[in-house]
Every structure is written in structure tokens, then in C-alpha cells.
Chain A
Amino acid sequence: MPEPNMKGCKVMDKAALNHNDCRNFIPIDVAKGICNVHQKEILTDGQICPKFDAMPKCKHCANFTEPDEKLIGRCLGFGDNYWTFGELKAAVCEHFRGK
């Protein structure tokens, strides 16, 4: 079984990732979505596959610092250094800097 492509992931533990971390995942709701590669409905909390393509999220961003145990940390991307959380999607964030 080929390994998932972890490019773009700051979090390298693939067990900590689910389909919601993948750019190919089109969420329907909080429990499931559609895999745009395989064109089928899948549960969010499933194991990622070799076609994995990291979704820009704060937890994958170089500007994300000081995460606590709940993955709430600080964002250095904007001038305000405000708090943010690792799961926040950053696909349209102008300051996202992937690894």
C-alpha cells in the first residue's frame, strides 16, 4: 500500500489526520463528505489514502505557533498575533505558508 503524500503537512503523524485534512474531501456535513478523487461518499473520520493532498489549515501553517493540548495556538501571519486553532481551514488565507 503506497504511503500518503504528506507534502504540505506540518503535522506528520498520519494517524492524527482524517479526510477533513485533505484537499480532495468535499464535506457534506460534520460526519461525512465526498472524495473528489474516488467520487464516492466517505466518513470524515476515516483513514487517509495515498491520494491525500493536504488541506491548508492553521496546524499546517508555518505561522502557527504555541499550540496547546487542544491545538489552540497563536497566528503570526497577521499583525495582530491573535489566537487561532489548528483545525481552522486556511484555503483562502492570504498569510498561509505551508511547510
Chain B
Amino acid sequence: MAKKLVDILEEKGMSLNLQYGGNTPAGLAEREIKKEPHPRAKKLRELYFNALSSVSVEFPYWYTRKYQELEHEIPVVRRAAALKHAFSHITPVIWPGEKLVGGKAAYYRGSFPMPWLSEGFFMAKEDELYQAALSKGGASADEVSKFGAGGGNVTQSFGNVVSIAGKFGIRAEEVPALLKLARTWAGKSVDDLGHKYEQMVPEYSVKEQVMRSVICMFDSGYTLPQGREVINYYYPLQYGYDGLIAMAKERKARVAGRADGDGLIGMDRLYFYESVILVLEGIQAWHLNYAQEARRLASACSDPVQKAEYEEIAECMEWIAHKQPRTFREALQMVYMIHIAVLNEDAISGLSPGRIGQVLYPWFEQDIAAGRTTEEEVLELLECYRVKMTCIDCFASMGVVGGVLSGNTFNNVSLGGLTRDGRSAANRLEMLILEAGMKCETTQPTLSVLYDEKLPEDFLLKAIECNKTGTGYPAWINNRGAMEFLMKQYGPEGMTLEDARAVAIGGCLETSPCIWLELTLNGKKYWVPGGAGQPTSVGVHFIANPKVLELVLFNGFDHRTGEQVLPPHNKKLETYEELWETFKEYYELVVDCLVKTNNIQHDIWRKQNMAVFNSLLKPDCLDKGQHIGNLGYRYNATFNIESCGQINMVNSLAALKKLVYDEKKYTLEDMREAVLNNFGFKTAAEAGSFSLAAQEKRDDADTRFDEIHSDCLKAPKYGNDDPYADSILQEYEEWFCAMCRKFESLYGRPMYSCQISVSTHGAQGAVTLASPDGRLAGTTYADASMSAYPGTDRNGPYALFESACCWDHSQSQNSQMNLKIHPNAVRGISGSRKLLELTRAYLRRGGFHIQYNIVDSNVLKDAQQNPDKYRDLMVRVAGFTQYWVEIGKPIQDEVIARTEYEGV
């Protein structure tokens, strides 16, 4: 029987040290905090657990039909008319027991493809459109991405259900229509048209190789062209849709035929306002169709309670289709519908509600004061909202939905932070949002606390209590650090300190620019925060840092694909400085070709597929009369460059520096040979596990690489307050953050660094050979950007914090730190206080983000063996929480392998 790495190390007296502060107790430890949902929410959540990810072609059919009809129309009007047609015709479905209604499609976990963005990847593998996508490199990440086999994922076809992209099910009878729609868009989609023009970039061939080797996970221009941003609900909440239509009509008349000094896009205002009117009419019809359906159900219902509920739904939808909401329930229903409408307008992950507890506070406050509702009723609605948000699926390719998102959609609610005038912004409704998150444990919306020293202790302890449910939320964000980043990045666009205080997190943990707007309800005025910037899901996503280092070692050649990815550097790499310089050169080469090609993809998107509804929601599109593509938003410098696997890269550089350059124990050739031979181990795929400890020796008799592997594993590692490794991280960060700003987005704004892994550390680890830090081929990288590689943080959390904070996090949009803590380590009120102090310790040192998996690793191992017993088990993966059974094995293995803290 093949020996496992963990046993080999044990024999040598070395430990991977997967626990710190003690040993994991035997048995399965329960989580300390466990609450029950409201019966209504529980029933609806059960329905979710039982529902498959399902797609229908209703929306794309109606959209395409109108779009085709208006061939000669102005693009923005053509798109708006198509959206109106689609919203007006999708079938409304109301599930029994719902108080909040609506959905992306006519299934409980419904979604639909948008072939106008990209049409090739969901075709059958033998189909020419799929093959064309593969040859472009865009589908390469699909080949190495994995979904969890359980939950609602339709990984295989059955009966009259056809599996698409390994996750979604479609009725067999709809497939011919889907294929017909896809073919309609062939050559016309953003993907195809962008591809035509990106080939004109001189470095295009490099980009194609980069995509095929999965150094980059995906093109952002047509896969997820929007998202990781904070939505803004203000305008419909303030004016109602009738008010907005009246406003657009009045402004349309004012600007028609006038350039008003802007000879380039001044005239475009007319078309934008016309498109606003069309889209809003479609949204109104969509609401009214739900009202009609509720009336139909009410008329057929004999149960008086259910009948009354249907009638309440009808009244609510009829009112908010036209007017400013009157009650908390109407406001919540409205913001939910706005959210879904934006998600139906474009393929988006990471559309964050933002500080919704502060946005909806006016209705909460006035309803409670007037006795129109109770906190119990509000809590019930908030729990129902959690279930509805959890039902949101995003249709995209396997590489994106599986390899990047792990099936999650990152609708992040931010809590706390500061008011416009610098006081604590935490409020009573936010306490209820936390309570709903504890009672009704669901993946969406995830929660983030904008930690500020001014936040009250009871609020912070409530958030800690929520952490102890083991849901992985809330994440903790450094509010002042986030504001500092915003001021640096958006100062040139006019960001003030007041508006920096409106900050919220978009997507997993993307610091996003927001502003305050004054809302009036029944004569009382409130300042409410909301998104004011472009998506941050855009730019270059994600670069596999260890893979770039691998190409440096192998002169630009990828041994996995057998292709020359980057031009040979032909350097001898005789000094560490030469190695580091070559790494930077290669990295910039990769970024350069990706920035140029993605700029083209996004430019095609803004010309052909611009947001209309999302645009009108955000300042200052309605005022300027310009959509997102014409820089209608207040803040536009949001494009970023995302890295992945940087800790493995830092550790690998440390090992090379020490073993090859400083001590000269091995030559670079020795290291190359060991890496190519995977240190004598099987590949991760052969071993059937993607974590380091479980890797197996290829041949016990082959001991050629044992010593070098031991030395690589023993070399200095990040996460131990060791200046040898940390100085490499510091040098990398100073270069990386500055390097990103040298590149310019299509909007003519500097790009910036984004340091999160989402789930790409699984897929990108799968394509990477062994690395000089001792990591083995195909195994998952360290998660996040500040987490230690599993088992290598040997000096406890405070040493890890020292390492992580050796650089200025406010240079980057974010950084990310995950810690796994055994539930016993934080039991009781003293445990809660310890956890809060731990959190404070990191954030006070300047860490940007920290979050916790408070879970017993034994439970995760048991769940991997017995998934049927754990349908509701959730874990924190990266900046999001996901159901265990819906996560692919590479990420499951990595979460299990993370160092577990038995004491803090």
C-alpha cells in the first residue's frame, strides 16, 4: 500500500501540524449556538434543500425575439425593449407559504442562460460551438473545475432532465429551443464579437496560451460582466416606479435634440432616458403579473388564512409596481424584486444588497413606532428573505460557477460601519438581521461587519454569537482600512470622507464605493447608503501566482499541456534577484495581454449589452442621462487584477532563496527535476485527494527526492512571524499593488489589486505542478490571500497576524484571512470575548479581513464520507459560505486540511 505524506513525515519526526493549541478531541463536537427558524421559513428552506438547480429558456426566448425584431434600433433602446419584453412575459410562480414572492425564473432555484453574452459553453461537448469555445482557451477552466455531487446540483442527465455545465437541469423538451437560441447568437454574442476584436491585440496568442494553461481562470467581459458591487435601491424606494418614469419622461423632453456642450455623448441622453422608460415599464408589468397570479391563487383557495396571504401579496405587488413602499414588508419586497431584476438583466455574481439594515431602517422604525408591525414579524420576514436570496443561482460555465464560485452568488449584506457624520451606524434592525442569520442558517445573504472602534459592544458580541453558529458569517472587515483604500482609489473622482463612510462590501469582500442619499418617508428624512460605483468583478481574474513561478522555472513551458505558454526568457537565474525580476517580467506580460483583451471584451459589452436597469439605480446615471458604459456612475475606477495562490508562491520563493541561492544545498536543476517528478509522489488526481497530507508516494523504493522534499517543507514559511518569509511577502505586495496601478481599464482609470481566491485555488492548484514549498502536483493552493498554507502556521494566530500585517493592506481593494477554530475553543461568554479580542487584534494591526470556520474537522471528515446526513451543513470557503455537499472535492479537502485552532 502506498505511503501517505503525513505518515512519511511522522516517521521522520516532522508534523504537518494540522492542529494548533492542542489536539482535536475525539468524537464530533457540536456547535455551541444552534437556533430554529420560524416554521414558515423552515418549510421554505426545506423546499430549497429539495430543489434542483433548474433553468428555463423563457427569458432568453422573449428577449431574443424582441431583439431580433428591432435590428435597426439604437443599441441601448434595442436592449431595453428586449428586456421589457422578457420581464413582461416570464411566468410568475408563487410557492405555498411564501410571503415574499418573485424569482429569476419559474423554478424555485431557477436561472437561465444569456446566449447574448456567450453561447458556446453550454452546448454538447461534441458540438462545434463548444469546440470553438474550447479552442479559444475560454473553456479550459471547465475541464479542471469540479462541482459537489450533492445538494441541488444536476451533475448528470436523468429521465426528461438534461444536465448543462455539470450543474443545471433543463427539461428535455426545452433543449431544441435552447440550441436554436444559442445558434441565433453565434457570432453576435459579446464573447464572439469580443473574440473577433481581441485577436487584433498583438499579444493575443500569449493570451490564448495563458487561458489554456489556466494561469487565468476566465474572461470577465462576457462571463460575469457585472457584479461584486453594491446595488443601490434608493431611487425606486424614494420615488416609486411611476415617479421614476415621470422623471425620465420629463428629462427626455429636456435633452431631446440637445448636446449641451458634449459633442460626443451629449445626444445619447435621449436614448438612455427612452431606454429607462422601457425597462421600468417591463419591471412594472413583471410585478403586476405576480399580483395577477396571487389573485388567481386566492380565488381558487379555500383556506382562509392562505387566501388572505395571497390577497396581501397581490395588494403589495400592485402598490409597489407604482409607488413608494408604505411598510417594511413592502420595502423588503421591493428591494428583493429590484435585486432579482438586476440579476436578470445580466450575468452577475456578487450583487450585494449593501447596508440594507440601514436602507430599510426608516420603514422599520416607523412601522414599529406606529404599531403596524412587531419585531417578531420583521424577523419572520427577514428569515423568508434569507431563503429567497439563497435560491438565487447564477447561470455560467462550469469553470466559472464551479471553479470560481462553488455555486455561490455572493450577495453580501454589510452591517455596522459609520454614519455620514461619523457615529456608529449599527441599529436595531441590524441586530435582527444577525438574529435571522442565526435562526435561519442559509448561505445567502452572507453577512459582513464593517468593524469600527465606535461600534457598541452588544452589537459586536451579537455578531460573535452569530459566528459561533458555525455558519461562517459574519466576516469582519476593517472599516477604517476600507475607507482609506476608497480615498486613495476614488479621491481623483471626488470621493469625500463623508462618502467613504458609506462604504460597503460588494461580492465576497470587495471594498466598493458608495454614497449617501437623502430619503424622505412620511416627511421624516434619513441619509441612506448605497452603491455608486461600477462592478468590481471586472478586469483580470484570477492569476495563478504559483503557475507563473512554475513558468519562470521552466522557461515559459507548461509541462501539463506540453505547450510554450510564454516566450522563453533563456535566463540562467543565477541569483535570487534574477529569479524575482524574471517572475515580475512574466507576471506583467500575463497581465498586459489579459488587460488588453479584457478591455476589448468589456468595450463590446458596454456597446452591445450595457446595463439599463442597474444603471438607472445608481448615482448619477439618471442625473447625467448616461448609462454605465458612458461613465454614468459616480465612481468608475473599479477594474482590478486578482491573484490566487500567493502564499504558495511566497513560500516557494522562500524555499528557493534559502535552499538554492543562500545555502546552495541544491541547484536550480535539482529543484526542477524534483518538481517535475512531483517529489516522487502520485498526482493529486491519482491519489484521489487534493490536500497535501493525503498525498501518496508513487513508489516506496524511490527515495531520490525524499531529502529535497523534506528540506522544501522545512524551509521558512509564511505565517510564523519569520522575517525570512515575510520580507518576501512584503516585497511582493509593494510590487504587486503598484504594478496593478500601471494598467488602465477601458474607462481610462488605473486598475488596482484584489486579493481573494474565491474557489480558484482548487482549479488552479489542479493545473500546477509541485511547487518548491513542498506542495505536490494538482493539490489545492492555500485559500484566500493571507491564510497560511494548511499545517505550516506553527506559532499560533498572533504570529500569523504579524506575518499577514507586514504590509499596508489599504493599498489593495482587499486581502483575506480564514481561520478554522474548534467549537470548544470559544465556548461560553468567555470564549465569545476571546474571539472578539482575537478579531480586534488582527484588525487593529491593519489586517483588512478575517473570518472563521467554527467547526470540528472531524465533522467535515464525517460529512465527506456521509454527505446524505449533512444536507444543511455549511462551511466558509473564501469570502462566502456554501453548503458542504455542493462544494467540489478539491475545496472540501482544502477546508478539512486547514489548520484547526484548538485554543485562541
Contact = CB atoms under 8 A, between A and B. Distances in A.
B51 to A, nearest CB: 5
A51 to B, nearest CB: 11
Interface string A71-99: 11000001010111111110111000000
Main secondary structure of the interface of B (DSSP, over half): mixed
A30 interface: yes
Contacts of A26: 93-96
Interface string B292-330: 110001001000000000000000000000000000000
B106 A27 contact: yes
A65 interface: no
Interface stretch (B166-174, B476-484, B780-788, B881-889): B166-174
B108 A88 contact: no
B107 interface: yes
B173 A87 contact: yes
B50 A89 contact: no
Chain B contact patch, size range: 35 or more
Nearest to B171: A30
Given A20-B171, A87-B173, A92-B92, A30 B61 contact: no
A74 B170 CA distance: 22
A30 B96 contact: no
A34 B93 CA distance: 11
Contact of A27 (B50, B69, B89, B93): B93
A65 B368 CA distance: 57
Given A26-B93, A80-B69, A91-B91, A31 B176 contact: no
Nearest to B184: A83
Interface string A22-39: 000011111100101001
Contact of A82 (B52, B68, B90, B92): B68
A29 B65 contact: no
Interface in B59-113: 61, 65, 68-69, 88-96, 106-109
B47 interface: yes
Given A44-B160, A72-B177, A85-B176, A28 B108 contact: yes
Interface string B843-859: 00000000000000000
Contacts of A20: 171
A36 B58 CA distance: 22
Contacts of A28: 47, 50-51, 95, 107-108
A27 B50 CA distance: 12
A70 B89 CA distance: 22
Contact of B171 (A41, A80, A87, A92): A87
B300 A36 contact: yes
A21 to B, nearest CB: 11
Contacts, number: 92
B489 interface: no
Contacts of A45: 159-160
Nearest to B66: A80
Contacts of A80: 65, 68-69
A87 B88 CA distance: 18
B161 A89 contact: no
B289 interface: yes
Contacts of A85: 61, 174, 176-177, 180
Contacts of B169: 29-31
A20 B172 CA distance: 13
A84 B96 contact: no
A47 to B, nearest CB: 14
Contacts of A27: 54, 93, 106-108
A36 B299 CA distance: 13
B231 interface: no
A80 B300 CA distance: 36
A39 B95 CA distance: 11
B215 interface: no
A87 B52 contact: no
Nearest to B85: A78
B843 to A, nearest CB: 42
Given A27-B106, A30-B161, A82-B69, A92 B93 contact: no
Contacts of A87: 171, 173-174, 177
B154 interface: yes
Contacts of B69: 80, 82
A48 B901 CA distance: 57
| Listed residue (B65, B90, B107, B177) with the most chain A CB atoms within 10 angstroms of its CB | B177
B177 A29 contact: no
B495 to A, nearest CB: 44
Interface centre among A30, A80, A86 (most CB of B within 10 A): A30
Nearest to B285: A92
Contacts of B96: 26, 34, 36, 39
Nearest to B69: A80
Contacts of B158: 31
B191 to A, nearest CB: 23
Nearest to A55: B91
B108 A29 contact: yes
B177 A88 contact: yes
A82 B89 contact: no
Nearest to B300: A36
A86 B177 CA distance: 10
Contacts of A39: 96
A39 B289 CA distance: 23
A72 B180 contact: yes
A93 to B, nearest CB: 6
Contact of B107 (A29, A36, A83): A29
Nearest first, the 10 closest Cβ-Cβ pairs linking A and B are: A29-B52, A70-B176, A30-B169, A29-B54, A85-B177, A30-B54, A89-B91, A87-B173, A92-B289, A80-B69
21 contacts: A20-B171, A26-B93, A29-B54, A29-B109, A29-B152, A30-B54, A30-B169, A30-B170, A70-B176, A71-B173, A72-B177, A80-B65, A80-B69, A82-B65, A84-B61, A85-B177, A86-B173, A89-B58, A89-B91, A92-B91, A92-B92
Given A72-B180, A91-B91, 11 more contacts: A20-B171, A30-B55, A31-B52, A31-B161, A31-B169, A70-B176, A80-B69, A82-B65, A84-B61, A88-B58, A89-B58
